[in-house]
Structure 1
Amino acid sequence: MISRRLRSSSFILPPSSFIIPMSKREFTLSTEYRYNRSGPARWILSHALRYPYLPLLAILATIFNNLGHSYIQVFVGRALNLITSPGWETAALAKIALGAASMALVQGVFGLARNYSTEFLAQRMERDTRQELYLSLLGKSQSFHGRQRIGDIMARATNDVRALNVMFSPGLMLIMDSAIGAVIPLILIAQITPRLLLAPGVFLILFAITINNYNRKLKPVSMAMRDQFGEMNAGLAEAIAGIETVKANVQERYEWSKFTHNARIFRDHFVRQGEIQALYWPMLMFSFSWALGFLHALLLWRAGSIDLGQVATFMGLMGVFRFVTFISVFSFNL
C-alpha cells in the first residue's frame, strides 16, 4: 500500500527529478532535517521515526483498545451463565456489569489515545513532507521550473501531500486496528477451547484470498485515477494562467473540450472504483464463517464441551471480525 501511495506522487518517487542532493542545490538550509530517500518505504519510515513516541503510543493504545472491546464479550458470557443458574444474586450480576463497564472505559480511553497519536503523526507527516517539497523546489534552477507543468506541481503540493496525511489517519490507523483486532479475538477464543478456532481460521483464509483479489483489482484503478487528477489539474491551471493567449487564438472551445475529456476519464475511473468496491466479497465470507462458527459452537455445547455463556462469548468475539472485514473496503484505498 505504501508503495502504491508513493508511486502516484511524482515528486517523491524519482529522486533525480524532484529531490536532488544538497550539494547540487542552488539554495540550502543548514537546519534542514535529512530523510532517508533510498526508497519509498524507508522514506516513510524516516518521517515516522522523527517522532518515535507517536507510533509507539498508537500501537500500545490500539492493543489495549481491542483488549477492552474483546473482554466485554467475555463478561457478557459470564453474565449469561450467571442468570441461567438457579439462585443467582443481583450483587454478583452487578460485579460482572461493573467489569464490563470498566472494559468499555478502557476501550474508550485508549481509543482516544490511539486517535490522538495517529492524527498528530499524520498532521506532522503532512507538514514535514510539504516543507521538504518546498525546500526542494526552492533549490531547483530556473531551467528546471521552466520545464515543469505548474498545474502538475500544484497537484503534487496539495492533493498528493494531503494523501499522505490520509494514508496515516485514518488509513494506517484502520489497518493497524484491523490487524490487532483480528489477533486478540483469536487468543481469547483459544482460551475457551482450541476447537473453536475452526471457523475463525476458515474466515481468515477466505478473507486473505478475497482481500488480495480485491486489492489486485483496485490498485491500478486508484493509481490511474490519481494520475488523471494531476493531468486534469495541470491542464486547467495552464489554461487559466494563459487565458489571454487562449482568447487571442480563439482556442476556448479546444480548451473546454480538452478539460471535459480529462474530466470524463477521471469520472470513468471513479465509477470503476465504485464498481470494484461494490463487489466486496470478504463481507460474504464473514457471514458464511459466522454462521459456520455458530453451528460449530452449538454442536460443542450440545456435546457438553462448552457452556452456554462460552457460546455467547464466542459469538461476540466472532462479531469483532465484522469490523475488520467492513473497514478494509475503505482502509486499503486511503
Structure 2
Amino acid sequence: MSEFDVNRSQQTDKSTTVRWVLSHLSHHKLLILAMLAGAFGNAALAAVVPVLIGMAFDAALETPANLQMIGWMALGVIASQSTRAVLQLGRNFSSAVMGERLERDMREELYVSLLGKSTTFHDSQPVGDTMARATNDVHEVNLLMNPGVNLVAGSANFMIMPLLVAPTYHPQLAAAPLFFIVTYILAVTRYLRVLQGIADRVRRAFGMLNGRLAEAIDGIELVKGTAQEVQEIGLFNNNATRYRDAAVEQGKIEARFLPLLLLGVTQGIGFTHALYLFNLEQIAVGDVVGYMGLLALFGFPTFISLLAYSRVSLGLAGARRILELMNAQTLLDENAAGHQAEIVGGVTFEDVTFNYVDGAPVLQAIDFSIEPGQTVAVVGQTGAGKSTLAKLINRTYDVENGRLLVDDIDVRTWNLAALRRQISIIEQDIFLFSRTVGENIAFGCPDASREMIIEAAKAAQAHDFILNFKDGYETVIGERGVTLSGGQRQRLALARAFLTRPRILILDDSTSAVDSATEDQIQQAIVQAAANQTTILITHRLSQIRWADKVVVMRKGRMEAVGSHEELMGSSPAYRRIFEQYEAIEE
C-alpha cells in the first residue's frame, strides 16, 4: 500500500536485492553490450602483446636476426594497443553512464517511495538514516557499477585469455591457468561471503553516524540552550569510532586476500612447467616468453579485484538498505479509484478508537458529529488526544476501530488526494520550507497568482510584516522558518490555509503565538472564511470557545461531553473546570 504513487514507465522487481539491481540494468541493454564487448576486446588485445613479443624474441634469436619480423611485431603491438585503447574507452564510458543512470533512477524511485510512506512510518524512521540511504547508499550503487562491475567484467575476461591462448603453445600449458582460475573462484567466493557481513556493518554504522548528526543539527537550539555540546561530541565520537572499527575490520579482511598468494604460486608452476617442456624441445624460447606474458595477465584480476569486489559488496549492501526502506510496509493506501467529490463539510465519528502503540489507546469510543459549516471547538487538558483527533480526519492516521465519515462516506473510501486537498490543518509545530515567502504561502496552491497570495496574506494579518522585509514576498526564509518569530510563522501558515480555500479547516492552537489584537483580526478572517467551510478549533482561547457552535470536551482520550458553551457550562463539571482554568490563564 502507498499513500502516493506515480505511473512509472520502468517497473522494477523488488523481490531481492540482486533482482532489483538487474531490473534497473535491464533498461540499458546497449550499454551493457558495449561494456562487455569492450571488456572482451580489451582482454583479447592485451593477450596479443605477449604473443607478439614471444614471436619477436624467436625472430631475434635467428641467425641473422629477422629484423623485418621484429618490425612487423612492433607494428602489431602499436596497432593492437591503439584499438584496445578505443575499446577500453567504450567500456569505461558505458559503465560510467550506467552507474550514473542507476543512481539517478534508484534515487528517484526511493524518493517517490518515501513520499508514499505513511506518517506512522516516518515517525519511526530517523531522518538522518533516511538521508544516508538516499544519498550515500544510492551513490554506493553507482560505484557498484563503475568501477565495481566494470572491473569485474574486465578481470573475468583477463582470466579467460591465458586459458584460451596457452594451449596454442602446448596443450599441457593449460594446467597452470586452470589451477589459478579454479582456486581463484573458490577464494573469491569465500572472500565475498565474509565481506558481505562486514560491508553491511559498515553501511549500518554510517547510517547511525549520519542519523545522530542530523538529530544534533536539527536540535541545535536545544543542545546549545542546555550546554550539551560536549555530550553530543562524545556521542558523535562513539558513532564515528563504531564506523571506523567496521571500516578497519573490512580492511583486515581485504589484507588477507588469498589470490595474491595464488598468483605467485601459479606463475611459479607455469614457469617450471614451461622450462620443462622447453628442455624436452617441445616449445621454443619465444613460446616460454609469450606464455609467461600470458600468465602475467592474471595480475590484473588479482590486484584490481581488491577494489572491485569491495565496491560490489558495499554497493549491494547499500542497495539492500535502500530496498529495505522501500519495501517497508505502510499502513495507508491512496485508494486511487476511491470516491472523489467536493466536500460539503459533514464529519462524523462513530465509536472511534486509535492508538500509536498497541495496548496504549490514545482515543477511545469517540462518538459525535459535525454539521456542514459548523464551527467546533475541541478543548481538554494536554495529552487528552485533541491533535490526534484532528489528524484522523484527513487520514494522517487511520482509525483502529469504528468509523470516521466525511459527508457520510468513510474516509478510507475516499480517494486520499481528493480528501486531503479539501482539508487544511494548521498545527502547533508549523513547517515552512527554505523558499521565498510567496512560495511558502502558495505551497498548497502552486498556480496561485501574486494577487491571490497577497489577498490570503492580508486575511491572515501577514501582509504588513512581509512588506517590512527587504525583498517582500521574494524574501527567502530559513528552513522550518527559523528566521521568523512564532507569530510570523503562524500567520504565514494561516495565509497558506486561506489560499487553498479548504472545505474543512482545522486550527490546532494556531494563534497561540500572536498578540490579542492580531488574534482578533485573524479571528475575524476565520469567521468570514467559516461561512463557507467547516471549522474545527483546537484551542484554549475563550473567545474562540464562546464563538464555536459546538464544544467537544476531551479527557484522557475519551469524549467527556459535547454541546454548546452555554449547555456545557450548566451540565458539565469537567468543562467548567477547564473553562475556569483557561480563564485564569488569560487573566
Q: Matched residues in 2 for 1:39 and 1:67: separation?
A: 34
Amino acid corresponding to residue 165 of structure 2 in structure 1: L
Q: How many residues matched?
A: 311
| Partner of residue 300, structure 2 | 323
Q: Is 1:272 equivalent to 2:249 in the alignment?
A: yes
| Offset at residue 63 of structure 1 (A) | 0.7
One-letter identity of the residue aligned with 2:306: V
Which residue of the partner structure matches residue 73 of structure 2?
96
1:223-264 Cα deviation digits (max 9, x unpaired) = 111110001110110111012223344443332222111111
Q: Is the 8 A contact 2:59 2:67 kept in 1?
A: no
The residue aligned with 1:168 is 145
Identical positions, percent: 36
Which is richer in strand?
Answer: 2
**Equivalent residue for 1:332?**
309
**Distance in 2 separating the partners of 1:317 and 1:299:** 17
From 38, 46, 59, the equivalent of 2:36 is 59
2:259 to 278, 282, 293: 282
Of 211, 223, 229, the residue aligned with 1:252 is: 229
Checking the alignment, whether the CA contact within 8 Å between 2:60 and 2:67 is kept in structure 1 is: no
Q: CA RMSD in A?
A: 1.6
Letter in 2 for 1:152: D
**317-326 or 94-103, which deviates more:** 94-103
Q: After superposition, where does 1:5-154 map in structure 2 within 5 Å?
A: 24-154=1-131
CA–CA separation in structure 2 for the residues paired with 1:196 and 1:309: 14
Q: Does 1:156 align with 2:133?
A: yes
Does residue 310 of structure 2 align to residue 310 of structure 1?
no
Provide the residue aligned with 1:20 in structure 2. Answer: none
- What is the distance in 2 between the residues matched to 1:35 and 1:216? 26
Q: Which moved more, 1:310-319 or 1:219-228?
A: 219-228
CA contact (8 A) 2:192 2:309 kept: yes
Which moved further from structure 2: 217-226 or 256-265? 217-226
Map 1:151-300; keep pairs closer than 5 Å.
151-300=128-277
AA at the equivalent of 2:275 = L
SS in 1 for 2:298: helix
Instruction: Return the TM-score normalized by structure 1.
Output: 0.88
For residues 273-304 of structure 1, the C-alpha deviation after alignment (integer angstroms, 9 at most, x for no partner) is 22222222211221121011111101101101
What is the CA deviation profile of residues 94-152 of structure 1, one whole-angstrom value per residue up to 9, with x for unaligned ones? 11211121111121111011001110111100011111111111222333322221101
> What's the offset of the Cα at 1:201?
2.1
Q: Structure 1 residues 272-281 or 116-125, which shifts more?
A: 272-281
Gaps of 5+ in 1: 1-23
Greater relative CO, 1 or 2 (CA 8 Å, sep 6+): 1
Three-state SS of the structure 1 residue aligned to 2:63 is coil
SS in 2 for 1:333: helix
- Matching residue's letter, 1:81: D
Deviations 1:178-235 (A, max 9, x none): 1111112210012221101122222223323333343333332221111100011101
User: Using the alignment, how far apart are the partners of 1:37 and 1:210 within structure 2?
Assistant: 30
* Structure 2: unaligned runs, 5 residues or longer: 312-587
Partners of 1:283 and 1:217 lie apart in 2 by: 17
Aligned partners of 1:52 and 1:199: how far apart in 2? 35
Partner SS state of residue 27, structure 2:
coil
The residue aligned with 1:5 is none
SS at match of 2:297: helix
Q: What secondary structure does 1:311 align onto?
A: helix
SS of equivalent to 2:234: helix
Cα deviation for residue 62 of structure 1 reads 0.8
Letter in 1 for 2:104: R
What CA distance in whole angstroms lies between the structure 2 residues aligned with 1:73 and 1:252?
63
Q: Report the secondary structure of 2:221's partner residue.
A: helix
How far off is 1:308 after superposition? 0.8
